[in-house]
Every structure is written in structure tokens, then in C-alpha cells.
Amino acid sequence: MSRETVADSLYARVRECDLCPLARTRTHAVPGEGPLTAEVMFIGEAPGMNEDRQGRPFVGQAGQLLNELLASAGLTREGVYICNVLKCRPPNNRDPLPGEIDACRDYLDEQIALIDPRLIVTLGRFSMARWFPGQSISRIHGKVREIDGRMVVPMYHPAAALHQQSLRETIIHDFEALPAILEHWRAERASAAAAEAFASATGTIGATSSQMRLFE
Ligand code: URA
């Protein structure tokens, strides 16, 4: 099955989902969007009012800031994949409930498996909690960890930065580090590929692409 077919089926299931009570209050479910081959995936919290109206992630004020942050990192919105922990808007933008996060978990798992990004950027504490439970965003924001063969970087949510100037500076700084993180990964991948090619040409045992040093 092609990636497109898998994505179409996933998006259709999300749009018709009734696994939690948010199905009754949403206007549109918001599956996520972006190239299915994106190297970078951004995971926010949940759709807000504008996202609920349009069925697209990060199209309101926080989305405007996200677009600017992407540009500061030399990335474009069209080049990255963007989704949320919850696919439906919680009423009045309240925090997601544990049962809602559980109900949506399989969709996010499927998205990560399908896109298979090299780098996941979590935006805010609810997506951060999936990889860094119990940790504090103020301590670990911007730090790269390798988890299950990919890099994960927790960041503040752009909506938080809209209201607090110091967080705005922090999130800009963290985004500006993304090109170096991606470059580091590409260089590691290229040197692992060269080592493998050398090993297979000479019959020696080479490095594998899974060998990647971490940096913080
Ligand atoms: N905040 C989010 O976490 N996600 C959106 O899609 C919009 C705002």
C-alpha cells in the first residue's frame, strides 16, 4: 500500500472518529498536514477555534508565529509535517484530558510510523510528555535526545510565546538551532553510508547508520 493510501485512510478515520466526547463538540477534526516524506514533524497540543473551523493545524495566531519560527530555521510550512496530540478541539481550548489523549494515541502513533521523520519537535507540554514524562520544559527545551532511532527536541508552545516576551526569545533561539541539528544528522548519515560502502567494498566490518552520537 502506498503512503498516500495509508494517509488517506488514516485521515478519513480521524475525520469520522467518535472515540471520545470531543467528537460531539468539534466542527472539523484536524488530522494534520504536510509531505508524507517530511524529515521534520511538529506536534502541537490540540486544535483551537480557527483550526476547528478550517480542519487544518496551526492556522490561527500561534500558527502565524509557527510560520515565522519555521522561516527563521530555514524551513517552510510546505516542507514539514504538522499535527497535534489531539485531533479535535477541546471546548474553550481547555487542556486535553488523559482519556482524550489515550483515545487519540493510536492516530499519532500511526502518523509517526507513516511519516517516519528524522526529527520530531514537540510544541508544548502535552506532546513533550509523550517522550519526556515528568520532565520540566524549562529544563529540557531545545535539547536533542535520540529516542527510537530519531531525534526529539522539546520546545515551548508558540501560543505561550505569544503572551510572554522572554519565552518568545527562547523559542526563537531554539528554532534557530534546528538547521544545525539537521545538518549534524545529515553529516552522520553521510559518514555512516560512506563507512558502509567502504566496508562492503573491502569486506571489512563498518559502522552502521544507527551509530549516532548525541549532542545537547
Ligand atoms: N495550538 C495547537 O497546539 N495546535 C494547533 O493546531 C493550533 C494551536
In the numeric block, the cell 530555514 is attached to 74
pLDDT at residue 215 in the model: 45
CB of 84 closer than 6 angstroms to any ligand 1 atom: yes
How much of the chain is in helix, strand and coil states, percent to nearest 5? 55, 10, 35
Q: Give me the DSSP letters along 42-87.
A: EEES---HHHHHHT-SS-SHHHHHHHHHHHHTT--GGGSEEEES-S
pLDDT at residue 206 in the model: 53
Ligand 1 pocket: which of 45, 88, 162 to mutate (most atoms <8 Å of CB)? Answer: 45
Per-residue pLDDT tens digits for 72-85:
999 999 999 999 99
**How many Å apart are CA 78 and CA 35, to the nearest integer?**
7
For ligand 1, the distance from its centroid to the CA atom of residue 201, given in whole angstroms, is 49
Q: In which residue ranges of the chain is pLDDT below 70?
A: 205-216
For ligand 1, the distance from its centroid to the CA atom of residue 162, given in whole angstroms, is 13
**How many Å apart are CA 194 and CA 41, to the nearest integer?**
27
CB of 44 closer than 6 angstroms to any ligand 1 atom: yes
Nearest atom in ligand 1 to 85's CA: 3
pLDDT at residue 83 in the model: 98
pLDDT at residue 188 in the model: 83
What is the 3-class SS of 109-130, one letter each residue?
HHHHHHHCCCEEEEECHHHHHH
CB of 96 closer than 6 angstroms to any ligand 1 atom: no
CB of 178 closer than 6 angstroms to any ligand 1 atom: no
pLDDT at residue 143 in the model: 97
**How many Å apart are CA 83 and CA 46, to the nearest integer?**
8
Phi, psi of 178 (to 5 degrees): -60, -40
> Number of H helices and number of E strands within the chain?
10, 5
For ligand 1, the distance from its centroid to the CA atom of residue 175, given in whole angstroms, is 17
pLDDT at residue 77 in the model: 97
Pairing outcome for strands 150-155 and 145-147 = antiparallel
Q: Contact, 85 vs 124, CB < 8 A? A: no
CB of 48 closer than 6 angstroms to any ligand 1 atom: yes
Q: H-helix or E-strand containing 131?
A: helix 125-131
Start-end of CATH 3.40.470.10 domains in the chain: 3-176
Please state the pTM of the whole predicted model: 0.91
pLDDT at residue 193 in the model: 86
Picking from 160, 105, 118, the residue whose alpha carbon sits closest to that of residue 137 is 160
| Top-tier CATH class for 3-176 | alpha beta
